[in-house]
């Protein structure tokens, strides 16, 4: 997420991070950077030990 280029037009940014310390740390760093540029930031961390692909797969009935 460090290399993500944010467009100059600041609006709303939702960051859906992995549910591990590294994912949350990266999301927080990006959120802080975006907020300092005027973006409205929301964080949506996955549950502990999961990522959002895990959650989507569970919704489809896959383990």
List, for residues 15-50, the tens digit of each pLDDT value: 999 999 999 999 999 999 999 999 999 999 999 999
Band the pLDDT of 61: cuts 50, 70, 90: confident
pLDDT given for residue 20 in this prediction: 96
Domain map (residue ranges) of the chain = 12-59
pLDDT given for residue 59 in this prediction: 83
This prediction has a pTM of 0.82
- Cα distances from 39 to residues 4, 28, 29, 44, 58, in angstroms, run 14, 13, 13, 16, 32
Does position 52 have pLDDT exceeding 90, yes or no? yes
pLDDT given for residue 47 in this prediction: 94
Beta carbons of 28 and 44 less than 8 angstroms apart: no
């Amino acid at each position: 997420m460090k290399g993500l280029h944010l467009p100059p037009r600041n609006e709303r940014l939702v960051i859906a991070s992995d549910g591990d310390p590294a994912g949350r740390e990266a999301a927080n760093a990006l959120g802080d950077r975006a907020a300092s540029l005027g973006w409205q930031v929301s964080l949506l961390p996955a549950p502990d030990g999961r990522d959002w692909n895990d959650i989507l797969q569970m919704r489809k009935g896959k383990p």
